[in-house]
Amino acid sequence: MTYEETITYLYNSAPLFQHVGKDAYKAGLDTTLKLDEHFGHPHRKFKTIHVAGTNGKGSCSHTLAAILQSAGYNVGLYTSPHLVDFRERIRVNGIPVSKEYVVDFVDKERAFFEPLHPSFFELATAMAFQYFAEAKVDVAVVEVGLGGRLDCTNIIRPDLSIITNISFDHVQFLGNTLAEIASEKAGIIKPGIPVVIGETTSETYPVFLTKAQEVGAPIHFAEEEKLLLESSVNEAGKRIYQTTDYTNLEGELGGLCQIKNTNTLLSAIRVLQASGYTIAEEHVRQGFAQVCSLTGLMGRWQKIQEKPTLICDTGHNKGGIGYIVEQLSRQKYNRLHIVMGMVNDKDVSGVLAMMPAEATYYFTKASVKRALDEQELQQLAHQYQLKGDTYPSVGQAVEAALQAAQPDDFIFVGGSTFIVADLLEKIS
């Protein structure tokens, strides 16, 4: 099979969560453990760092990988979902797994895995761990797919666990309260393994503390350490941090959410240094300043063009959208245009209630089965005084916004990871 045929085969034989949602979700680790045994437990051949959380885990994973690369480590990075190409999920030192490897892996192993009927994510995780082992990585930064306790990445025994924050997302799987969701995320906390918690609430703090005490895991609450003292944005759209350990720390990622992410990362770096990782100040600075070029990260308050300014961001739940709305309020522009779409299993009304009413909206849908119909989104939006026309594709919506916008206007594209994916695919 060609690479394209192989990816189509994977999508058809192992349902992809980002396309079909809950029908692709498999609770439990039985299949993962069988795959792991078949490949000879490849994750035991390299060190790992495990990253969970509702929002920010992608940015934290990529930045941590960039820092470790800058320190000279051979670094694997496993994240999800991908935006344009499946190979984005599996990288070594920022370079995606080759098309040839994906094709060969499927051709060689399909006779074994087909009878198991693995989910797409189970199969991708097995492929990633095997690839990292063959590439002889020193350490892999592994992002949790969904939840934590039953996520198939949870077979690893990491040097450090990180939980960025807890917000309402995937409630059909993880629970209807923050405490229930936190309990699922806390499933990655393991005996004797230090854990850094980025943000807490009165509901989630005791969940993490109790779990850590039960298993004897040293726990670090980043908010209590207060390593990030102050931050600002410079003219180039990057973020400058004044911190306990680093003055004038420049971050390439300019989103407001990165303030909390940076505090989480600074706590994690201290723990890694104390456990024997060789990470110097220059490595931290290079990782923060060059995370996108070092790891291939896309879609985090990413500027596509100027005059008019066009920004996209993958924030897609109330927690992530809250930061985006605040950041939009700080921008200077004549008129605000928002190209927006969502998927049908999110808290659509909760997100719409937060969006700025003064903007002109371009309601659309992403090219995935989970996408909410643009007409339905428009009708729901009208209940919150959000006005605009509908467009059957992201490309058409963006083109309409560009035609309507003046040079000093601002266009934001988001509401869903898959809206951003369609935009980036269009311009790639």
Q: Does residue 236 share a domain with residue 96? A: yes
Whether residues 284 and 315 share a domain: the answer is no
Rounded-to-integer distance, Cα 411 and Cα 389, Å: 15
* Distance separating alpha carbons of residues 378 and 374, to the nearest angstrom: 6
Contact between residue 289 and residue 258 where contact means Cβ atoms under 8 Å apart? no
Per-residue pLDDT for the chain (428 aa), expressed as one digit of tens each? Answer: 999 999 999 988 775 544 444 444 556 799 999 999 999 999 999 999 999 998 899 999 999 999 999 999 999 999 999 999 999 999 999 999 999 999 999 999 999 999 998 989 999 999 999 999 999 999 999 999 987 888 999 999 999 999 999 876 544 456 578 999 899 999 999 999 999 999 999 999 999 999 999 999 999 999 998 787 666 666 577 899 999 999 999 999 988 889 999 999 999 999 999 999 999 999 999 999 999 999 999 999 999 999 999 999 999 888 889 999 999 999 999 999 999 999 988 789 999 999 999 999 999 999 988 899 999 999 999 999 999 999 999 999 999 999 999 999 999 999 999 999 999 999 87
For residues 63 and 159, membership in a common domain is answered with yes
**Residue 295 burial (CB < 10 Å; 0-12/13-18/19+)?**
buried
Domain boundary among 260, 295, 330: 295
The answer on 240 and 375 residing in a single domain is no
Whether residue 52 is found in the same domain as residue 159: yes
pLDDT of residue 170: 45
Same domain (yes/no): 14, 30 = yes
Q: Tell me, yes or no, whether 261 and 310 share the same domain.
A: no
pLDDT at 234: 62
Residue with tokens 């895991």: 217
pLDDT of residue 2: 96
Instruction: Examine the domain organization and report whether 47 and 184 are in the same domain.
Output: yes
Residues 370 and 270 in one domain: no
199 close to 257: Cβ distance less than 8 angstroms: no
Domain identity same for 270 and 418 = no
Query: Residues 166, 96: one domain?
Result: yes
pLDDT at 162: 98
Number of domains in the chain: 2
Show which of 278, 295, 312 is a domain's final residue.
Answer: 295
Asked if residue 109 lies in contact with residue 71, where contact means CB atoms within 8 angstroms, the answer is no
| Residue 198, domain extent | 3-295
Transcribe 89-150 into DSSP letters: GEEETTEEPPHHHHHHHHHHHHHHHGGG---HHHHHHHHHHHHHHHTT-SEEEEE-SSSSTT
Same-domain check for residues 240 and 315: no
Q: Last residue of a domain, which of 263, 295, 327?
A: 295
Q: What is the CATH number of the domain that holds 230?
A: 3.40.1190.10
Query: Coil, strand, or helix at residue 28?
Result: coil
**CATH classification of the domain holding 358:** 3.90.190.20
Query: What pTM, to 2 d.p., does this model score?
Result: 0.93
